[in-house]
Amino acid sequence: MIPPSRPEPGHLRASSPRIFSRIWWLAFLPARTGIDLRERMRLVVGALLGMLLTGLACHLAGAGMPPGLPWLVAPLGASAVLIFAVPASPMAQPWPVIGGNTVSALVGIAGVHGMHLLGAPELAAALAVATAIAVMLALRCLHPPGGATALMMVLGGISDPLFPLFPIMLNSALLVLAGIAFNNATRRPYPHMQVSPPGGAISREERQLDADLDAVIGHYNQVLDVSRDDLRTLLAQAQMRAYDRKLAEIRCADIMSRELVTVESGTPLQQAWALLRDRRIKALPVVDKSFRIAGIITLADFLRAAELDVYDGFDEKLRKLVRLTRSAYAAKPEVVGQIMTRNVRVAAMERHLIDLLPLFASTGHHHIPIIGNGEQLVGMITQSDLVAALGRAADPTA
């Protein structure tokens, strides 16, 4: 068997250049935003309140600062988008916001001084942005608005060593505080936990999933705007939804046992007991001449009929029950119809398996006869059949 080819990360594979030429432009189309109106309003209101409170506080704080010093910087607007629109993003966490903007401002100041040596503002601007990215990566505080902060410093010729503290750091810190208050008030955890807290013992399957996920991320080798643990959670939820969907599609006819061993009401108890023992089964459907369900006989029926509520004399009582009586008159049950359970829960073969789960889980049923056209018996579902079906549904390769 030839394994499927693996797509290169970040690239679109096509079967031919002609196909690729027809669809490459689809990459320029805007992706759909998978959020509802309520979430849209939440992030818009959050950005409004966050910027308003940060602006008011910094405006008051800037009253005692040297004249001409701005009290709010433009890159903060981009930071607000990250904090309120994607609060789970690794780039929107407090350290990337505060650290990324501040160190980028320091890099920008160095770029201003270097511009006099380079003599070319374009080169100085490009170097400032590139260096800011390198420093943020090294300090684990990559924050996209940081590149705008470094560029703003160079283009504005800002060389004041206090500027990274005010307004840059103060702006960023106040916006983060506003994000903490608003996001948590609207049930969006912030700061977002990027590492799963230690829980109980990790199963072998979970360790394997973590190893596979790390290998895929390493092969992808690109900066992701979602944490590893969030990816793991999303993957687990997607697998659970796939499991639920597969389980919901299974019908009784798909998993029922079709090789049936049945008896009739007039079958001698000795014969029925021999079938249970020889076939190593726990129940026998009782059918009429039209092969419709008349009842079911189980081990429990034999034990109840033999009055085996007391252990003493267990073997003798059971042998006495199943032994065929030679006389015309019998003081004990002789045939299946005398001890079988007549009130039998059945299910149609087209019924979904998920509907039967409550019967097995809470009502003590171990066997469910399955009926088809004309209410004739066509199969039997046991707990073993159910467990096997659940296992196949949980198998992603099935």
Tens of pLDDT, residue by residue over 37-67, are: 999 999 999 999 999 999 999 999 887 777 7
Residue at a domain's end among 185, 208, 230: 185
Lowest mean pLDDT among 13-17, 163-167, 216-220: 13-17
Tell me whether residue 382 is in a domain: yes
Query: To which H or E segment does residue 264 belong?
Result: strand 263-264
Tell me whether residue 151 is in a domain: yes
DSSP class of 227: -
Clarify whether residues 173 and 305 are in a common domain: no
Clarify whether residues 308 and 388 are in a common domain: yes
> Which strands, in side-by-side order, build the sheet including 293-298?
263-264, 283-287, 293-298
Which distant-in-sequence residues (6+ apart) come within 8 Å of 138 by Cβ? Answer: none
Clarify whether residues 283 and 360 are in a common domain: yes
- The pLDDT tens digits for 170-193 are 999 999 999 999 999 999 999 998
Residue type, 209: L
Tell me whether residue 130 is in a domain: yes
d(CA 307, CA 9): 70
Residue at a domain's end among 137, 160, 185: 185
% of the chain residues with pLDDT over 90:
54
Tell me whether residue 347 is in a domain: yes
d(CA 12, CA 357): 43
CA dist list (Å): 180 to 83, 175, 189: 9, 9, 8
Clarify whether residues 85 and 165 are in a common domain: yes
Tell me whether residue 19 is in a domain: no
Clarify whether residues 71 and 172 are in a common domain: yes
Print the domain residue range for 107. Answer: 37-185
What local confidence, expressed as pLDDT, does residue 175 receive?
A: 98
Clarify whether residues 180 and 260 are in a common domain: no
Rama region for 254: left / alpha / beta (φ>0; ψ in -120 to 50; rest): alpha
Residue at a domain's end among 129, 160, 185: 185
pTM: 0.67
% of the chain residues with pLDDT over 70:
85
Which distant-in-sequence residues (6+ apart) come within 8 Å of 137 by Cβ? Answer: none
Tell me whether residue 265 is in a domain: yes
Clarify whether residues 136 and 274 are in a common domain: no
What local confidence, expressed as pLDDT, does residue 327 receive?
A: 56
Clarify whether residues 52 and 161 are in a common domain: yes
Domain count, the chain: 2
Check which CATH number belongs to the domain holding 345 and give it.
3.10.580.10
